[in-house]
Amino acid sequence: MKIAVMTDSTAYIPADVRSQKNIHMVPLNVIFEDKSYQEEVDITTEEFYPMVQAADELPKTSQPSIGLITVKLEQLAEDYDAVISVHLSSGISGTFEAVSSAGRMVKGIDVYPFDSEMSCMVQGFYALEAAEVAANGATVEQILERLDNMKETMIAYFMVDDLSNLHRGGRLNGAQAILGSMLQVKPLLYFENKKIVPFEKIRTRKRALKRMEDLFSADAQTGKPIKAVVIHSLREQEAEGLKQQFETAFPNAEVQVSYFGPVIGTHLGEGAIGLGWYFK
């Protein structure tokens, strides 16, 4: 059986890596006023943040259309018998359900949607692992079992640097945003039951970063092989510094740097930092 691996754009796996690993992708959309862009196709992360700064209102985001997904699956059906499709959490997007629906309509290929229950490169870890295991001849059942095993230790935390995006997007009222900015509260968020929820409210960016570092260190200092990613929106130097810090402190840790692209960046805003990891 020939097995394809697909994900969506919010995994933020660079195009060259997707090509090298033979990972297929369906894009989500970011919409400025009346113009829609497919992220990672029509708009890059580098182009996105200046557009947000210049816009009067936050852009909107939307999942891929079932029509687009159906076309992609029909193309895959020409060369593959099955597809493992890894997507951002069904608790924050309808993408997983859209792929499930499209999969039931397309003939000639078995579609196995996988809910990462997360997003960004943490979601990407699942797609990359699925591609590697598939390339080594694993069955669909073996691939899904491996992904389920990864889920047992996968975790991620995100720090929002500026509350204004949450306020502008209608997710925080004005009084809370002003008070939060005055107090320099940096909400630490994480995924729980497929939703992004507050983990802790921490005073100052420095303390929030330290809290994330401590959470990671508690797992990394066990000495078990661990794979991690530092995710950022326009804070590459800071993210690279954390990567070097972790790899120096923990030889058992394999750490990479990734980014919050347009769809996720719309909600988290410039300056956000995330940290995700799992035991290999």
Query: What is the C-alpha separation between 9 and 240, in angstroms, rounded?
Result: 23
Question: Which of the residue ranges 102-106, 111-115, 194-198, 206-210 would you say has the lowest mean pLDDT?
Answer: 194-198
- Same domain assignment for residues 130 and 220: no
Q: Is residue 41 part of a domain?
A: no
Q: Are residues 253 and 236 in the same domain?
A: yes
Domain match, 99 and 191 both:
no
> Can you give the CATH number for the domain in which 136 is found?
3.40.50.10170
Give the E-state strand segments of the chain in sequence order. 3-8, 23-26, 29-32, 35-38, 60-62, 82-87, 110-115, 155-159, 185-192, 195-203, 226-232, 253-259, 273-279
What is d(CA 168, CA 124) in angstroms, rounded to the nearest whole number?
Answer: 28
* Number of domains making up the chain: 2
Sheet of 29-32: strand order equals 35-38, 29-32, 60-62
pLDDT on residue 201: 83
User: pTM higher than 0.85, yes or no?
Assistant: yes
Single residue among 100, 125, 152 that ends a domain in this structure: 152
180 and 264 in a common domain? yes
54 inside domain: no
Q: What is the CATH number of the domain that holds 240?
A: 3.30.1180.10
| pLDDT tens readout for residues 190-243 | 999 998 878 888 888 899 999 999 999 999 999 999 999 999 999 999 999 999
In a domain, 37, yes or no: no
Higher pLDDT, 161 or 128: 128
Q: Are residues 13 and 141 in the same domain?
A: yes
Between 119 and 165, name the one with better pLDDT.
Answer: 119
43 within domain boundaries: no
Eight-class DSSP state of 208: H
- In a domain, residue 95? The reply is yes
**pLDDT score recorded for residue 263:** 96
Report, as an integer, the average pLDDT of 17-37.
97
Share of residues in the chain with pLDDT > 70 (%):
92
pLDDT tier at 188, thresholds 50, 70, 90: confident
Residue 141 lies in a domain: yes
- CA angle (9, 28, 34) in 5-degree steps: 140
- Percent of the chain at pLDDT > 90 equals 81
**Where is average pLDDT lowest: 36-40, 186-190, 235-239, 245-249?**
186-190
The residue range of the domain holding 10 is 3-28+63-152
Both 206 and 109 in a single domain?
A: no
Contact 245, 142 (CB under 8 A): no
User: Is pLDDT above 90 for 134?
Assistant: yes
Average of per-residue pLDDT values in the chain: 92
